[in-house]
Each structure stands twice: as C-alpha cells, then as structure tokens.
Structure 1
C-alpha cells in the first residue's frame, strides 16, 4: 500500500511539473492588424496566438465598426480560427488620435454601461474573443487638443469593471499601455485594474516619439542611463506594482523613427534633429544599405539597433531581427505573457519579424 502511495505521489509530481513547464513555456504572439480581408492571407497566421483588429471607434458612445470593409475583415479574421485553433480575434478601440471622445464618454456610469453593452452586442455578432482598449491616454495629454482630465484615472478603472461584469469571464479584456514613466505614474490605478484584465499590452515603442527634437532609441529593451525609458524599465515598474508577470505583454516596433539634420556625432545617437516619416520593416533591406550611405550600429547595453547616414545626416531607430529576438528571450526569461507588435502589415509575410519571434518561442 505504501509503495502504491509513493508511486501515486511520484506520478503526481511528474504531472505537476509538466503542467508548470507547459505554463511557463506558453507565450502569446499578438499582432495588431490594420489590413483588409485579403492581405492577412499572405501572413503566417499559424504562428500567431491573437490578432487585434485595429481600429474600431466610438460613435454616439458605442463601439462602432467603421465600414462594411472593416466588417468583412473582422468576419474573415474570425474564420481563420477554424484552421488555427490557438488563435483569438480581438477588437481594438481607439489608437493614436482615435479616442477623442473617450474621456467624456467614459466619465459617467451611464456612458460606461452604454459602451459595455455595445461591446457585448458587437462581440456576439462577430463572434470575436474580446476587446483591447487603446485609449491614448487617460489623465495625461495624448494627441494635442484631445480632452484629458484627472478623473480619467478612476473612470478607466470603473470602465474596466463595467466591461468585465457586462462581458463575463469568457471574453478577453486587455489594454494598450504607454511604456513611458508619466503614463505609468499617472494614468492607471494598477492594483485596481490588474484583476479585471487578461493582459496589459505595453507599448514599449515610441519611447522617443515624433515630437522629440533629439534622437534616441525608440524601442530599447534596456535603459542606457537613469533617465532613459525602456521596455525593461516599464516591466520592472509594473512587477513592483504587483502585476503578475503572465499578464504583461511587451511591444515590438516594425517601423523606424527617423530624424534628419543630425550631425555626425556619436553616429547620430542622442543628437538634435528634425523628425520625419520612417520606414517599415519590410523595406529595411532595400533602404538601409551601404550603397545608400547607411551604416548599421548595435547598442549592446540597450539591446537595440540604429542606423546613421553621414552623407544625408539622417538617423533611424527601431527593432530589427536581432533586437526582436532579444525581446523574445527576455519574455521567456521573465516568464511574461508574451510579445505584441505594431503592426503585422509592416512585416515581410515570410522570414521576417514574426518568424524571428516564433523561432525563439519554439526553441528549447
């Protein structure tokens, strides 16, 4: 009898270890997606765990799908789940400049309930798996001219409470969180919202943004000095706030931030310049070439690449294959919930950034 008990205990230990090993190995690859119903078929959907359709907006206080084209796209995304059982489809509200009415609409209990009911109605109609809130930003300035007020912070908590009670537990609920310190300090009541959401998608990019007149790493894994924003800085802050590691998703950038009129000092890094439109990852190979005057640099402390063109005095910063792999290794080491990125159509359909993430995820 004692031998049988020992055997049962041994098998239970093996089983438990296996369960925890599987849990720790799981990391989600989450794609924000702005394309249409056809373009998605060019990409390796089998390597993704979640696609976040971007974007829906507020109309008369309700979640609105903007057009028949968007409606067709959402329906097609949902249809992909038949061949990809790991896949979840989530609708996103807002985006940069896309949440102008949010502060006012979510300022009353009635407004929050109206919105939550519309989310349930739209989600049930399309048979999607949940909602991602991309309000940039509660309580602090986002796009100049958009309403923001201190009361946004408690109202955001109340909004999530209303959404969770209206949607129930089966729906995914997440939000895109600014990765910079002012947002982390002032926009969100982290202890209050953590039990209400499945994940927090940290926008650990645009940490040096288009309003900056000085160059820098826009999506570094680590800070190189005490005042520099970074992915790790945001993660460590949120872990200290008590957010479970498995609810934290870090962000990758599939596009460069670019500055002109940058003098050839420190290869353009941390120098004055004028921000201009950047380049998408799928165009890196034909843009950032030596023939075009570009040199590639790797900041080993930040785990981030950058490019400088001395002839045109142009500087560019982003993620690339090397840095996105480093971020994915970081997710595994920290046992975070996964990695997301902006956005899928900026990648090459094959052998690009998504594939690099997937390779690291799948490696033992």
Structure 2
C-alpha cells in the first residue's frame, strides 16, 4: 500500500510540474522585427516565442511583401525555427503609416475575401505561422490623412471572420490594438472578435504620443490618476468584458519618447514641451548619463521610468529594465498571454530587456 501511495505521490508531482511548465510556456515573449536577415542573428532567438515580421502592406488589395530583401529576411526568420522549436514567425500588415488603404480595402466582402486569400497564399509560400493585423486604427483617426469611418468597426469583425475561415485553425491570427481608451471603446467589437483570434497585442505604449504637447509616461504599467492611460487600465477593461486573460498580451517600449523646452517643474513630468526624436534602449547607457546632464527618476505608482535634463530642459519617458520587469511580473501574476514589444533591434543583443522578461518568465 505504501508503495502504491508513493507511486501516486510521484505521479501527482510529475503532473503538477507538467501543468506548471505548460502554464509557464503560455507567457509568450513576442518580438516585432523590422531588421534584415543578418541583424536577427545577433539576438538570443531561443528566448523568443514569436517574431512578427514588420511590415507587409496592401498592394491592389492583397497582402504584399515589399521587396526581394524582405522575402530573404522572412525566409531566414522561418529557417530559425529549425533550431528553435518554440518559435513562431508571423507576418504583420500595416503599422502606423502602413495601412492607408485598409479602411477602403476592407469595406466590402469582396475586398476582405481577396485579402484573406492572399494571406493564405503568402503564408503557405513562406511557411510562416500566421498574421498579425496592425491597422491603426479602425473607426478612429490614426495617421492624419488616412481614411477612417464608423463602418470600420464592423468591417474589422468581418475581416477577422473571413481570415479565420480562410486560414483555418492551423494559422495564428492576432492584431495589434491601441492601448488607449478611445480605441478600446470605439475600434473593435471585442466579444465578436476575440473568440476568433489567438491573442491581441495591446500597444500599451505611445499612450502619450508624438503629437502630445504635454509630457507624461508613455508606457506606464499603472495609472496615477483616473484620466491617465496605462497598461493595467487597458487590461482591466478587457478582462471585465470577459476576454480570457491568456489572450491578452501587453506591450513594452524599447525606446523613449522625448520632449524639449520642458520647464524644470516636477522633474519635467506633466509639463508643456515640444516632441523630438527619442532614444533606443541599446543607447540608454551612453545617452542618459549624469555627465550628459541627465537625472533618472522612478514613479513607483505608475511603475514607470523617466529622465530629465535640467540644462537642456529635456524630458524622456520609456521602459527600462526595472519597468519591463514589473510588466513581465504583472503578466505572469495575471496569467496573461505574454509580453510583446516594439522592437527587437532597439534592444541590446545580450542582457537587455528581452533577457529581463525571460528571467521573470523562467523564475520559479
């Protein structure tokens, strides 16, 4: 009897370990990637679950790979799967400036079907694992001048339906979603769309964007006041709608947003300014130094990093090791689908933000 109990105990232990291992694997690390077939080799692919090639575009209503160079890159990304069995490679449509014809192209059943068939053809040809839609944005203004119309919201639903029926269950289907309230309220029919997709990649960054004339945290984990956008605010909104936690992926920003002409009040936070070019994470160590006049600050309520240069009256906001660790721990605690980020070439090849997420994921 004792022997049977011992066997049962070991079986229970092995099952428990297996269950936790499976749960652990569910926290995916997802990289958007705009680089070529050479740059990717500098990074630790074994720590990624998904690479989203960015971007493909619409050409005559079809998903199109822009150049022969892009084709070479996609083929190389797919080849990395041979030595990385956990890895999936997706194509992405659009981007901030890359979806100008989307509203018109997806406004008819014929247009949506034409696109869906082209996605299937390209996916089969390149042997990729699926598609990430990055339409910025259905039904609300994205890049100034791009067409958007109220019908986009239902057309987006119909687009997801035809993509899923055309691609079948074999292919992954996801979309990048604005992490701000207007998008969450007006762009997507969440309860109709989410059962048909594998995940939504919440762009919980650029929440204070390049058009803003007042500084703020652009990728905070938490809101510090009821009106402030944040990662947690978007996640809680979708969880309350009944969206499964494992289908929600939160976003990290491997770059800063920066403003000049910012007064030395509140260390530059929530002050008027003029937006200028930001800095990649891989360049933080040489840019945000005391020798260059920068001071580092941490907002413990927002779980957000920021920097201020009193001499140059310049303010910067973005993810760093501390904030990305907090996001990864949040995703793990809430059993979310994982963490994605924009974008891999902005990270250091070793001991950077990807490594930080990976350490949280694999910690016991």
TM-score (norm 1): 0.97
- C-alpha distance in structure 2 between counterparts of 1:93 and 1:9, whole Å: 50
Aligned partner of 2:324 in structure 1 is 324
The alpha carbon displacement at 1:15 in A equals: 5.8
Q: What's the secondary structure of 2:70's corresponding residue?
A: helix
Partners of 1:111 and 1:362 lie apart in 2 by: 44
For 2:351 and 2:216, locate their aligned partners in 1 and report how far apart those are by CA, in whole Å: 28
Q: Name 1:162's counterpart in structure 2.
A: 162
Whether 1:17 aligns to 2:16 is yes
For residues 363 and 11 of structure 2, the distance between their equivalents in structure 1, rounded to whole angstroms, comes to 27
Q: What secondary structure does 1:235 align onto? A: helix
Q: Which residue of 2 aligns with 1:147?
A: 147
Aligned to 1:189: 189
Structural mapping, 1:1-364, within 5 Å: 14=13, 17-26=16-25, 27-364=27-364
Helix, strand or coil at the partner of 2:234? helix
Q: For 1:291, what is the secondary structure of its paired residue?
A: coil
Q: CA deviation at 1:6?
A: 8.3
CA–CA separation in structure 1 for the residues paired with 2:146 and 2:213: 22
What is the SS of the residue equivalent to 1:251?
strand
What is the Cα deviation at residue 25 of structure 1?
Answer: 1.6
SS at match of 1:91: strand
State the distance in 1 between where 2:358 and 2:5 align: 40
Deviation at 1:19, TM superposition (A): 4.2
Aligned counterparts of 1:12 and 1:352: Cα–Cα separation in 2: 38
Name the CA distance, whole Å, in 1 between partners of 2:151 and 2:12: 49
| CA 1:117–1:4: 2 relative to 1, 3 Å | farther
Q: Give the secondary structure class of the aligned counterpart of 1:77.
A: helix
User: What do residues 103-134 of structure 1 show as CA deviations (whole Å, max 9, x unaligned)?
Assistant: 01001111100000000000000000000000
Distance 1:80 1:203 in 2: 26
Taking the aligned partners of 1:160 and 1:358, their CA distance within structure 2 comes to 31
CA displacement at 1:360 relative to structure 2: 1.1
Give the Å deviation of 1:362: 1.1
Instruction: Decide whether aligned partners of structure 1 residues 283 and 3 sit closer, same or farther in structure 2, where only a CA change above 3 A counts.
Output: closer
SS of match in other structure, 1:292: coil
Mapped to 2, the partners of 1:159 and 1:11 lie a distance apart of: 49
- Cα shift readout 1:24-51 (whole Å, capped 9, x = no counterpart): 2221000000000000001111110000
User: For residues 47 and 123 of structure 1, what CA distance do their matches in structure 2 show?
Assistant: 24
Deviation (angstroms), 1:242? 1.0
Q: 1:307 and 1:100 mapped to 2: Cα distance?
A: 35
Partner Cα separation in structure 2 for residue 363 and residue 145 of structure 1: 46
Q: Distance in 1 between matches of 2:4 and 2:190?
A: 45
How many residues get paired? Answer: 363
Structure 2 residues without counterparts, runs of 5 or longer: none
What per-residue deviation string (whole Å, max 9, x for no partner) do you get for residues 245-279 of structure 1? 00000000001000000000000000000000101
Matched residue of 1:132: which SS? strand
Give unpaired runs (5+ residues) of structure 1.
none
After superposition, the Cα gap between the structure-2 partners of 1:158 and 1:289, relative to the gap in structure 1 and judged at 3 Å, is same
Task: State the shift of 1:3 in Å.
Answer: 10
How far did residue 354 of structure 1 move? 0.7
Runs (4 or more) in structure 1 with deviation over 2 Å come to 2-20
